[in-house]
Structure 1
Amino acid sequence: MLPRSNVIGRVLFFIGIFLMIVHFIAGIYFGSIPYQYEQVWSTTFMWWIAGFVSGMLFIGFSEIIELLQRMLGQQKGNTVNVQEKEKPATNHIEQPVSKEEIVNELGENTTNQIYELYEMQNKRIEEIILTPFEKKILVKSVREGEFVSVIEVVSTTGNDAINSTIEKHPELKEWYKENKKN
């Protein structure tokens, strides 16, 4: 579940929770027989199930709105990833970043995928640069037998790590130019 950054998404989420609570109480109330201390469980469960389904529909719609808001922010070039830690604006790229820091930032599985990707391509990773762009990092590498370092963008979307040239990502290229140490 995402933290709520959109007002409509937040309202729909709370309506969903409210519906579940109201239906839970209504199930107990309407499932009881007046002046007898018995419960008609079929009526109670009917109210509970209806409340759960309607509440989850509202919560689901709120999630869709939140995800759409997040996608819109990324499309405009803003990183509206409220789950991602705020990265301080720096005048330079902090170098070097240890493998432990990469594991802490990206997770062990993603880090291993990156190292395996470069190993399969016969490249040696010289440096990994974390960026403020969601699920994108820069990798400075050298192909075995060559002496020229290449900076590539690695997208860690889904279960794969995919590398491409920095030329295909003008916003990352610009960020790198502005923030690299001279």
Structure 2
Amino acid sequence: MKENMIAKILFIIGIVNIVLGFIIGLVGAAEDQVVYDAFGMGRVQSGFNFTYFISWATGGFVTGMLFIGFSEIIKLLHVINWKTPMPQQVSNKENLLKETTSPSNKTVQTSVDWTLGETEVEKIKEKYAEYHILDIIPSNVEGYCVVRLQTGAEEFVHVVDINGFGVVEVKDAGIKKTIISWYNDLQK
């Protein structure tokens, strides 16, 4: 999976901002004052200015949390863009099995007149960068493509969904079967 460096940098900037706000507040709040008496003699009095410390520490914390929040938003948008699965915290294995094995109730609407855009082709090429792509064919179902790949002497076909922000390999058996049968008829 591609990493999002901007989100990491914003997260680090947020942490550094919080730490620096606290440190600058501590250093700046420690104050030394020279107090002169009636005879012109001065004494040094040390003190701690709480308002200075609180303002710097609070300001550093708030701006740091803003940077961390922006980094989390960018991470979520990155996941949506590449359609990468979020880490799931599933404690019940039966629920996970039901989700993965349940049959799909999607209806497949076929159409023939659609073309691939440059961005979709680039996303497919990025997803299958480790393979040699022989052909990318828009299928009879809009938003789905057949990708012919080659590894060494082997040739194989993948059905991919390009409807969203990224390229996802189709797991639905019904859609996959429809598109593969259309592709086989096309090859005859």
Structure 2 length as normaliser, TM-score? 0.47
Which has the larger share of strand?
2
Larger Rg belongs to: 2
